[in-house]
């Protein structure tokens, strides 16, 4: 990779000033190379959209696993509303778009050398690197919790075997048991996720273990879609009564009442600022940070997340590396699958423009997040975003929540549309 070649490409792009689609392929020199690190929602979408818009670009996607399990709708696997296979996706679709898919673990992205290195010892040079490694779990924040402890006390915040393990524990739990969810502090992947999980677990208990309870220990004073969740919990699970199936214990700011600081793995007991709580099934969702590879490659700030330019998602710390999805600090957008999908398209377009020596276009972003809180009872948050003029944040220009007075029919339809969203977003990323 020589400066001269890049300089040459820039001048070609600038001189012909062609549109993104239908840009004439460079007749001289090797084709431009993009390496995508992480084939989850963000990475898969970016790889596909680059190939769809500019097939002259060589895209290599490096993903640790042969199959991707979506976190979205994985809460329905716990309650047997769907199977684990229904959230499993492979990479043949991307191969169909001409993406070179490599199954390997990236050990380092060398920004200076513009090369991605893998555990198996291979190196992949790039002109542009797109990094979408999701999250890493900060086990250290909870005394006694660890990667090994997660084999018996699952987080299930990365879907797959962890989801199946938590499902098994729920199904084997005695009737009358307590399922404790330790919710994470902000910012974390999928803000409504822990509360949707509580709903799905309660839905299962209501049908199969009616004397059981869900207890959420939360280090936060409030949570996403709280009004809508509580309304559903009242409707289905006796929330607010003495016999409620779901109890939420929040923590006022400045206090540590329900902040879990330690766990005794053998007895499934957690220590909060207030109490010791023993669980029959314990689900600890620990504090989170950017994917390990992003941190190891010097892409994260001191809080563990990756700062980026919001117009192109190019790292502010290293040139020619773009960080998207949960790992990035996309100021103004939540960490969600839809957000990762949307950011991937903004980034694909920016990367193509930059490789062709053009100015990246004005971005447009969307996020939606559906939650299914009971049978035929779904709701959503949606937002349309634009970039602030000074590029300091991504600003919601429209959107909002399902109204509190939505009809039964609307709530039913939102479940149907949640399933359609799942089919479309997974097909948009992997199909």
Partner 1 sequence: MAYNIFTKAVLATGLTFAVSSAFAADVPVQSGASDGMLANTCAGCHGTNGNSTGPSAPTIAGYNPEYFKFSMAAFASGEFPSTIMGRIAKGYTEDEIAQMADFYAKQKFIPAKQEFDAAQAKKADKLHDKYCEKCHEDGGASPEDESGFLAGQWAPYLRMQLADYYAGSREPSKKMKKKMEELHEKAGDAGVEALVNYYASKQ
Ligand X SMILES: Cc1cc2nc3c(=O)[nH]c(=O)nc-3n(C[C@H](O)[C@H](O)[C@H](O)COP(=O)(O)OP(=O)(O)OC[C@H]3O[C@@H](n4cnc5c(N)ncnc54)[C@H](O)[C@@H]3O)c2cc1C
Q: Which residues make up the interface to ligand HEC (CB under 6 A)?
A: 366, 368, 382, 417, 421
Told to check if 233 binds ligand X by CB under 6 A, we report no
C-alpha angle 285/383/136, rounded to 5°? 25
Number of residues that bind partner 1 (CB under 8 A): 51
Binding pattern for the stretch 26-65 against partner 1, x by CB under 8 A and - elsewhere: -----------------------x---x------------
Which of residues 64, 115, 265, 395 is near ligand X by CB under 6 A? Answer: 64
Tell me the closest approach of the beta carbon of residue 78 to ligand HEC, in angstroms. Answer: 24
Tell me the closest approach of the beta carbon of residue 417 to ligand HEC, in angstroms. Answer: 4
Q: Which among 38, 36, 32 is positioned nearest to 68, based on CA atoms? A: 38
DSSP calls for 296-359: HTT---TTS-EEB-TTT-BBSSSTTEEE-GGGEE-TTS-S-HHHHHHHHHHHHHHHHHHHTT--
C-beta of residue 34 within 8 angstroms of C-beta of residue 126: yes
Q: Which of residues 322-361 bind ligand X (CB under 6 A)?
A: 325-327, 335-338, 340
Q: Which of residues 333-352 bind partner 1 (CB under 8 A)?
A: 338, 341-342, 345-346, 349
Q: How many whole angstroms separate alpha carbon 153 and alpha carbon 257?
A: 22
Tell me the closest approach of the beta carbon of residue 382 to partner 1, in angstroms. Answer: 5
Q: How many whole angstroms separate alpha carbon 93 and alpha carbon 169?
A: 34
Q: Which does 206 bind (CB under 5 to 8 A by kind): ligand HEC, partner 1, ligand X, none?
A: none
Q: Which does 334 bind (CB under 5 to 8 A by kind): ligand X, ligand HEC, partner 1, none?
A: none
Q: Is the Cβ of residue 23 or residue 345 nearer to ligand X in the bound state?
A: 345
C-beta of residue 85 within 8 angstroms of C-beta of residue 95: no
Question: Given phi > 0 = left and psi -120 to 50 = alpha, else beta, which region is 150?
Answer: alpha
Q: Which does 346 bind (CB under 5 to 8 A by kind): ligand X, ligand HEC, partner 1, none?
A: partner 1
C-beta of residue 143 within 8 angstroms of C-beta of residue 273: no
Number of residues that bind ligand X (CB under 6 A): 38
Told to check if 388 binds partner 1 by CB under 8 A, we report yes
Which of residues 131, 196, 365, 377 is near partner 1 by CB under 8 A? Answer: 365
Tell me the closest approach of the beta carbon of residue 313 to ligand HEC, in angstroms. Answer: 20
Told to check if 38 binds ligand X by CB under 6 A, we report yes
Q: Is the Cβ of residue 265 or residue 366 nearer to ligand HEC in the bound state?
A: 366
Which of residues 33, 48, 189, 377 is near ligand X by CB under 6 A? Answer: 189
According to DSSP, residue 265 is labeled: T
Between strands 115-118 and 269-272, the pairing is unpaired
Which runs of E-coded beta strand occur in 175-273?
Answer: 178-182, 213-217, 246-249, 260-264, 269-272
Q: Which of residues 285-344 bind partner 1 (CB under 8 A)?
A: 338, 341-342
Q: How many whole angstroms separate alpha carbon 258 and alpha carbon 274?
A: 7
Told to check if 164 binds ligand X by CB under 6 A, we report no
Q: Is the Cβ of residue 135 or residue 205 nearer to ligand X in the bound state?
A: 135
Q: Which among 179, 162, 157, 183 is positioned nearest to 170, based on CA atoms? A: 179
Q: Which among 247, 232, 307, 325 is positioned nearest to 279, based on CA atoms? A: 247
Cis amide prior to 282 (ω within 30 degrees)? no
Which of residues 9, 114, 129, 132 is near ligand X by CB under 6 A? Answer: 132
According to DSSP, residue 183 is labeled: P
Residues that bind partner 1 (CB under 8 A): 20-21, 49, 53, 338, 341-342, 345-346, 349, 361-366, 368, 380, 382-391, 393, 395-400, 402, 406, 410, 413-414, 416-417, 419-421, 423-425, 427-428, 431
Residues that bind ligand X (CB under 6 A): 37-43, 62-65, 68, 71-72, 74-75, 105-106, 132-134, 157, 189-190, 193, 197, 291, 293, 325-327, 335-338, 340, 369-370
């Amino acid at each position: 990779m020589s400066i001269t070649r890049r300089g040459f490409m820039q001048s070609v792009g600038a001189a012909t000033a062609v549109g993104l689609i239908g840009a004439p392929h460079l007749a001289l020199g090797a084709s431009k190379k993009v390496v995508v690190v992480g084939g989850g929602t963000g990475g898969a979408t970016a790889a596909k959209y680059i190939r769809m818009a500019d097939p002259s670009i060589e895209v290599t996607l490096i993903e640790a696993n042969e199959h991707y399990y979506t976190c979205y709708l994985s809460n329905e696997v716990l309650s047997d509303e769907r199977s684990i296979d229904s959230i499993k996706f492979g990479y043949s679709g991307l191969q169909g778009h001409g993406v070179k898919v490599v199954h390997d673990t990236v050990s380092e992205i060398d920004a200076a050398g513009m090369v991605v290195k893998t555990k198996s010892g291979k190196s992949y040079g790039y002109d542009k690197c797109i990094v979408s490694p999701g999250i890493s779990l900060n086990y250290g924040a909870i005394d006694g919790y660890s990667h090994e402890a997660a084999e018996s006390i699952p987080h299930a915040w990365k879907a797959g075997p962890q989801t199946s393990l938590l499902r098994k524990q729920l199904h084997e739990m005695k009737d009358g048991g307590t399922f404790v969810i330790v919710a994470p502090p902000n910012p974390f992947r999928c803000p409504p996720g822990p509360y949707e999980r509580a709903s799905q677990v309660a839905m299962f208990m209501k049908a199969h273990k009616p004397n059981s309870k869900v207890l959420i220990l939360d280090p936060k004073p409030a949570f996403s879609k709280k009004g809508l969740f509580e309304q559903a919990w009242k409707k289905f699970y006796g929330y607010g009564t003495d016999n409620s199936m779901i109890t939420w214990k929040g923590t006022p700011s400045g206090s540590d009442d329900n902040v879990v600081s330690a766990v005794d793995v053998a007895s499934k007991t957690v220590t909060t600022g207030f109490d010791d709580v023993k669980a029959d099934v314990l689900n600890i969702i620990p504090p989170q940070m950017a994917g390990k590879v992003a941190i190891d490659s010097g892409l994260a700030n001191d809080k563990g997340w990756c700062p980026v330019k919001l117009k192109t998602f190019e790292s502010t710390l290293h040139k020619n590396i773009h960080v998207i999805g949960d790992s990035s600090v996309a100021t103004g957008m939540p960490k969600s699958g839809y957000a990762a999908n949307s950011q991937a398209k903004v980034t694909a377009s920016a990367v193509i423009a930059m490789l062709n020596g053009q100015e990246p276009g004005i971005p447009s972003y969307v996020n939606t997040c559906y939650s299914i809180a009971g049978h035929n009872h779904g709701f959503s948050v949606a937002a349309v975003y634009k970039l602030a003029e000074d590029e300091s944040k991504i600003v919601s220009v429209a959107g909002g929540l399902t109204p509190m007075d939505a009809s039964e029919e609307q709530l039913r339809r939102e479940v149907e549309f949640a399933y359609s969203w799942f089919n479309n977003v997974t097909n948009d990323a992997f199909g």
